Amino acid sequence: MSYKWLKWLILWIPTVAIGLWEYLRHALLLPFISMDLGNLLAPVFVFIISLTLLRALFAKLEQTQETLQRERIVKAALEEREQLARELHDGISQSLFMLSVKLDKLERAESASDAQQTTDQIRKTVRHVYDDVRQSIANLHDAPLPADMSWMQSIHHLTVEMEQTSGIQTTVEWHVQDGLLSYKQKVELLAIMREALMNVQKHAKAKQIVIQGEGVGSSDMTPNTFRCSILDDGIGAEKEKLHGKGKYGVKMMQERAAAMGWTMTVQQTKPQGTKVEIIGRSDAK
């Protein structure tokens, strides 16, 4: 029996019971039961019905709620594992492959300068892998986003983490209704935002970040559409560098956005800085 039907039965059984009692009392039992006695027996009759039928339904309802809660927990855990697997594949595994390529190049170095240049590249790649591993461990330490956690709380947690680890001042200008995004959309969008902030921390040399969000109610937004942007005042990056070899962070964000049916752009801003923008439609019910 579905959760919806359980709720309807719990609602209608007392109503049907009292209606049936009143019908029987007036149609068949009126010669035998006085009005005062009938009024006294009505709540007793409803109580007996509730004690027998509704008690079992309430137990079934509690069991269904516990099952749904376990399913939500399992779903959140699977989504966290999927996110971690994607980060390991798109970031760490790619970096390790590049590290092996550079080690082969080091073995074939023909001069001390070539060897030194390759060694510097290897050292840089190792630092990159270290940062990715440290971030993945931090993500595991963070609890999954609860289904009842407000969007602003999750963003605040992300900005506090950013300021504590990098010292970059982070401002939030969020105007998206909390119910506009589904749970999965919140998880994916938060992961994209986290990766964008990591890129700013690693490469932008920025002093300030502004996270903006617009949704239903904005003058230029169509119904059920949202826009999220992460803007920094760093040194910026050319398009070729953003999408060049070894730039897995931007690729991972684009793949996440594409999987959700969103569009994501990364562009330089004037006079300096970079803007990451995600535009998509809500699938919240």
- Residue of higher predicted confidence among 80 and 262: 262
DSSP 276: E
User: Region 132-138: what's the mean pLDDT?
Assistant: 67
For 161-193, what is each residue's pLDDT tens digit? 778 778 899 999 988 887 788 878 888 898 888
Q: For 240-250, what is the mean pLDDT?
A: 58
Of residues 133 and 206, more confidence is placed in 206
Q: How confident is the model at residue 238 (pLDDT cuts 50, 70, 90)?
A: low
The single-letter DSSP state of residue 178 is: T
Residue 111, Ramachandran bin (φ over 0: left; ψ between -120 and 50: alpha; else beta)? beta
- Tell me the mean pLDDT in the region 128-146: 63
Nearest CA among 46, 52, 53 for reference residue 9? 53
Average pLDDT of every residue of the chain = 78
Structure tokens belonging to residue 15? 């109503």
pLDDT at 68 over 50: yes
Lowest mean pLDDT among 12-16, 112-116, 129-133, 243-247: 243-247
What integer pLDDT is reported at residue 148 of this predicted model?
Answer: 44
Q: Which pLDDT value is given to residue 263?
A: 94
pLDDT reported for residue 237: 66
Q: What's the confidence (pLDDT) of residue 255? A: 86
What sections of the chain are H helices per DSSP?
3-24, 35-49, 55-87, 94-107, 112-141, 151-166, 183-199, 239-242, 248-259
Strand 208-214 to 169-175 pairing: parallel
- Cβ burial of 46 (10 Å; 0-12, 13-18, 19+) is middle
pLDDT band at 8 (very low <50, low <70, confident <90, very high): confident
Q: Parallel, antiparallel, or unpaired for β 225-232 and 274-281? A: antiparallel
| 206: helix, strand or coil | coil
The two three-digit tokens of residue 263, written as one number: 């569009």
Q: Which residue has the higher pLDDT, 145 or 99?
A: 99
Dihedral pair phi/psi, residue 53, rounded to 5°: -80, -50
Which among 43-57, 63-77, 144-158, 224-238 has the top mean pLDDT?
224-238
Residue with more model confidence, 87 or 129: 129
pLDDT score, position 90: 58
Residue 3 predicted with pLDDT over 70: no
Rounded-to-integer distance, Cα 107 and Cα 95, Å: 19
Most confident of 91-100, 119-128, 272-281: 272-281
pLDDT value for 208: 93
Distances (CA, A) of 122 to 101, 102, 203: 10, 6, 17
Overall average pLDDT of the 105-126 stretch: 84
**Helix intervals (H) in 50-111:** 55-87, 94-107
